[in-house]
Chain A
């Protein structure tokens, strides 16, 4: 494979990009260093998926959106966040520009910081500096993480102080209707004994023009903190996506992931949680539908470092048409993580002869005193089930629709958030029609 050394974006460009946004010096410097790394680092190598023909590096970088009032938001976006009454804590970013923002005074009064990440980099420089691509996702992991640091356009920063428990979810919508790339960065830092729920939606409309999404989310749960992270990815066919969602849980912390991965384009997705502290806990639930001829690679992985730490992975995926996906679940129990527990289930249902699904549960255990388990299944739709449903007058398409909903229901019904559940059912509905 030839290494593409001539990135379209050079030092002058990145310098100018950063300056034009009045970014603090440390960020500008970080971007420039990252750019250099991007020129030399190799591409990521997802297991069993060849991505050397995928375009992650050629794209239009900048686009703009215009700030709007709530009722001027596109209907698609309003459908995601609810009414103005409901959407009290929400950030909407359109083509990289924050276009709508609301945060309750009561939330602000508790010292919560929620804002777009550029504003945060200026107004809460130390906080952002502390977390940005330091320990969850590193700049120098590969060419794409470096490129992300060099060129990320916007994102969200959520900081919850010690002992603050937020009941209402904090929402974000990132939508793109320009062919420009979507480089988004999210940081959630929940200090000791705090509790927060964050729900994000990715949306794009570029069916035919080629574009790139390079997304990073970093979640930090302090001692005894709880973070529920819901995400529904719904990027259009033209988007080739590389997304990393990583969490680090301190002592007795809890991170719950509820992910609906419904991109229509080629996607490489990594969801990794490090259970650093003793007694920490994570639970990853994901549902996926692949369709058309898209190729996807999903990794859900959990590292148990702390004693008595617990990690759970539950993935259900449906592959239609000639879509193909790799699902790797990785439970890594480190030496010294005594009494820890890991459990994972991956299930894949294929609807057509040409669809491909591959589920690989992987347990890597370097400690004796632990418990772990896994289950995986890959299968085609049962013709007798179809016959049974059709024998009641239900058409083949409708029967398949019911079977898909049914197959995904055990995960959807366990999702920790009603709004995410509802949204997942809607997206599934649209995808199976």
Chain B
């Protein structure tokens, strides 16, 4: 394999890695504050893609304005908002009742929600996928990177995701807002004493984590076909990413996501049969050496 081919596979790996990074980042934020593993994260990613698709192809005729189409740029904003609202309702009326019990109830609840979402959408949409035809004209076509032809759209998706990931990291680790969030996680009573509405903060944080999943879903819609099961298998891989990275760190989620995307990309080139299993094998090795994950704190 020559340098060009390696560079090319690196780019492809990166374009998968950004999705892992965005999803595991959302999971990490939710877990950090709520101690809930959101099994519905994959389903909400799928929901994000569907909001974009429905907004473009279906909503106009449904509402009686056949010409109305919500374009891609609008979808980037609207879909995360819609899904965040859904997520916040879910947090407010379901998850909140469970905080006093064992954390596994949160996992089980979100598992049930994921099944319902997938089941309902499977009723109305083709499981093999539906095309999302709304890629803006300016992002169509391919660019010659010298070592490969690369779709403009993927380049855009990589750049946008990386910006969003690091902006999120900066906000949580470096700003006063983030400091309150982290304090709320360590000692909610104390934060409450400062006059901050902790339950509302938790709801908003959950909404934000879920919005990241939805944003990833919208970004994925033009690349992969939009299908009710698009998140179901992905979420299992993302769980492995999260275990490898360790749940303690926001940065850990981002870095591990990107790195494992690259590793998977290179495996696809060097030894394809292992491409989908390599992450699970890495997970086993990491657990043997560092049970808390690469970036995790020792106790957990």
Chains A and B are bound partners: no
